[in-house]
A and B are shown apart, each in its own frame.
Chain A
Amino acid sequence: MCGIAGLFIKRTRLQPRLGELLASMTSTLCSRGPDSAGFALYTAGEPGRAKLTLTSVEERADFEALGEMLSRAVSAPVSVVGRYTHAVVTVPADLVNLCRNWLLENAQDVRILSEGGHLEIYKEVGYPDDIARSFGIASLGGTHGIAHTRMATESAVTATGAHPFSTGPDQCLVHNGSLSNHASVRRELGRDGIVPQTENDTEVAAGYLTRELKRGRSLGEALKSSVEDLDGFFTFVVGTKNGFGVLRDPIACKPAVMAETDDYVAFASEYRSLTPLPGIKSAKLFEPKPATPYFWEH
């Protein structure tokens, strides 16, 4: 099981409705993954600033105070927007590594879920509809987004074990399926300097794509080589700063249906998840072919 919904908006007029549409699409997938859910949204950014989405494994409530300490430590303005159990901390882009290291050393309960100019990730344990409401996903606008409802198989049901996973700036991935060679790929990634933060198999897939992108490959090429290098069954939906990609394993184990109109490209595990979208009745509907990367870019 597990459910995936993805929406890539092609025309600006639907951008303010990204969160609302994504939350509606995800709502029909609750039964596919009732134990946890997550949302990755590419929202507006500020030039020269980077966003870090933070959560705490010890239920830290006061991210404002943490932001003030961080601001003093790096001698630069830091803004904090709290959302339910998460906070988006915006810092100067050139100080992002410094901020990251300071957080890792000084706030050891904090987990950095995403980093980038646009990406924000919200994920929690619980029923997907409740999670979407708690985070206020419907109020967020943006260019593209991916959501996941999880029925855990490979690792524990925790907020940090929920999807989406992000292992590189403005990169994220969700997964339906399970990987059987994630332990060996994890070791290889470790040697290449990419250390997954959780025991989750999907984070290994995200790390794999990050490594391939770092090597200068395009997302399309990275998806193509993952068919050879990752063993198991999977449907991946990935996001980058300005792109959106889909890949299914060679035997197409997991369901996938896509809809395209002049306004958007949408992905879902089941057709009924696409029904809240405007103009769906006249959309071009198709199933992505196995072992074939699909990719759209702004």
Chain B
Amino acid sequence: MNQIDIGKWSQRDLNMLRTSSDTREIDLLTTSVRDLNATLQAFGSNTRSDEASFRVLTPNGAHAIAVGIDAPLNVEIAGHVGYYCGGMNKCASIIIDGNAGQGVGENMMSGVIHVKGDASQCAGATAHGGLLLIEGNASARCGISMKGIDIVVKGGIGHLSGFMGQTGRLVAFGDAGEALGDSIYEARIYVRGKVESLGADCIEKELRDEHRAELFALLKQADEAHKADVSEFRRYGSARKLYNFHIDNAGAY
């Protein structure tokens, strides 16, 4: 069910991140976020992947930086960002050289978002595809209602992560907070550290060879292949008991 080919999406492999000699710098001290986003959104999906690179300076925690891109652009943001950075991203590679506020990569469709620091709540919420790589920790509700995105967190994830996750993969190297995978559908969760508690209808499942292969491919994209042992991770997913309402389960909702 929901087998997803690794590497199927374009421009999602970190190794494919391009360096362009003519990187354009946009400083948010002198340019508004709205103007920045209008510039980035002006590129269409037929843009060549080596055509345009941007470096965003002085983000200072501003919200909605680099949202709604629909082209294989390279965007590097030099500092901490506020809410919804890279939201709705299609095809772009976005590097955040700092922490990200709530909802980084919210509703992302494809491409890569790489957070060098920590991410706040709801990282990758409702996202359909692409890769969200977080070097630090992600706080509560990471991957809430995920719909196909792959999220790899090298630190821990907060409570209610993977809540109602429909498909896609969520990997945490560190610990997971309370109620992991609450009311989960078919998203797959891999956690190496301690899980505080599992949410309703979320259970630990056997880590079979196909899961090891899937996990290895994800670790490879996160530049952790051969550094982390896939066998140290445990797999969590849906017990599929709450898909349809049954009166005996009323208390579990």
Binding site for B on A (CB under 8 A): 251-252, 255, 257, 270-275, 285-287, 290
Contact = CB atoms under 8 A, between A and B. Distances in A.
7 contacts: A251-B159, A252-B159, A255-B102, A270-B82, A271-B61, A271-B80, A285-B118
A234 to B, nearest CB: 15
B61 A270 contact: yes
Contacts of A275: 60-61
A46 B60 CA distance: 40
B121 A271 contact: no
Given A251-B160, A252-B139, A290-B140, A272 B118 contact: no
A286 B82 CA distance: 14
Nearest to A31: B63
B199 interface: no
Contacts of A271: 61, 80, 82, 99, 101
A272 B80 CA distance: 9
Could you say which interface size class chain B belongs to? 10 to 19
A272 B159 contact: no
Contacts, number: 42
Given A255-B120, A272-B61, A285 B82 contact: no
Contact of B140 (A251, A270, A274): A251
A271 B83 CA distance: 10
B120 A257 contact: yes
A290 B159 CA distance: 9
A274 B80 CA distance: 11
Interface in B136-172: 139-140, 158-160
B17 interface: no
B106 to A, nearest CB: 15
B62 interface: yes
Contacts of B101: 255, 257, 270-271
B95 to A, nearest CB: 18
A252 B121 contact: yes
Rank and list the top 10 A-B pairs by shortest CB-CB distance, nearest first.
Answer: A272-B61, A271-B61, A275-B60, A287-B139, A252-B140, A271-B80, A272-B60, A272-B82, A271-B101, A275-B61
Contacts of B62: 272
Given A252-B159, A270-B61, A272-B63, 6 more contacts: A251-B160, A252-B158, A270-B82, A272-B62, A275-B60, A290-B159
B175 to A, nearest CB: 12
Contacts of A270: 61, 82-83, 101
A256 to B, nearest CB: 9
Contacts of A273: 61
B211 to A, nearest CB: 30
Contacts of A274: 61
Contacts of B160: 251
A90 B139 CA distance: 46
Looking at B61, B121, B159, the one whose CB has the most chain A CB atoms below 10 A away is B61
B76 to A, nearest CB: 18
Nearest to B79: A281
A287 B117 CA distance: 13
Contacts of A286: 118
Contacts of A252: 121, 139-140, 158-159
A290 B83 CA distance: 20
Interface string B60-102: 1111000000000000000010110000000000000001011
B125 to A, nearest CB: 14
Contacts of B120: 255, 257, 287
A285 B140 contact: no
B60 A285 contact: no
A150 B101 CA distance: 21
A281 to B, nearest CB: 9
B139 to A, nearest CB: 5
Contacts of A272: 60-63, 82
